[in-house]
Amino acid sequence: MVPLGIIGGLSPVPVAITAFVGNAITVVLLVVFVDKVKKWRASKTGRETESKRSKRAKRLFDRYGLPGLALIGPFFVGSHLSALAAMSFGSDRKRVTAWMLFSVGVWTLVMAVAAGAGISYFMPNVDNGPLTDMFKNS
């Protein structure tokens, strides 16, 4: 949504901040909700203890897979599905939240800079943004 706001003529900084806050809130809510559902389900099924193998797999995923999923996943499937996948793989809620917030921040910054640079490069004579100018002329 950052590129659309910038193309629409809005200032990149407020657009980026608004996009980050909106995504951050929904990602955190999703992670907390999935964590609560997992705990509720574990209490119903009585599976609160993990085997050595599953603990080791979880530790390896947290160390190597979670950062990759958090940073690359939003490009392919979005930050919300990446957070859901990380939680379903058994990662810790705090680690998923930290990595996903970092990822959302990085992707927001990348999109804001790319959209701002693209608009100023490809449309140097447009002051308010192409969408704003288009609607003014209509």
- Taking the C-alpha atoms of residue 46 and residue 81, their distance in angstroms, rounded to an integer, is 27
How many Cα neighbours within 13 Å face the side chain of 114? 10
Residue 53 has pLDDT above 80, yes or no: no
Note the pLDDT tens digit of each residue in 61-72: 777 788 888 898
Confidence of residue 138 (pLDDT cuts 50, 70, 90): low
Q: Are 111 and 3 in contact (CB under 8 A)?
A: yes
Tokens of 125: 């004579």
Give, as one character, the DSSP assignment of residue 75.
H
Where along the chain do its domains lie? 2-44+51-126
Residue 27 has pLDDT above 90, yes or no: yes
pLDDT at 54: 66
41 three-class SS: helix
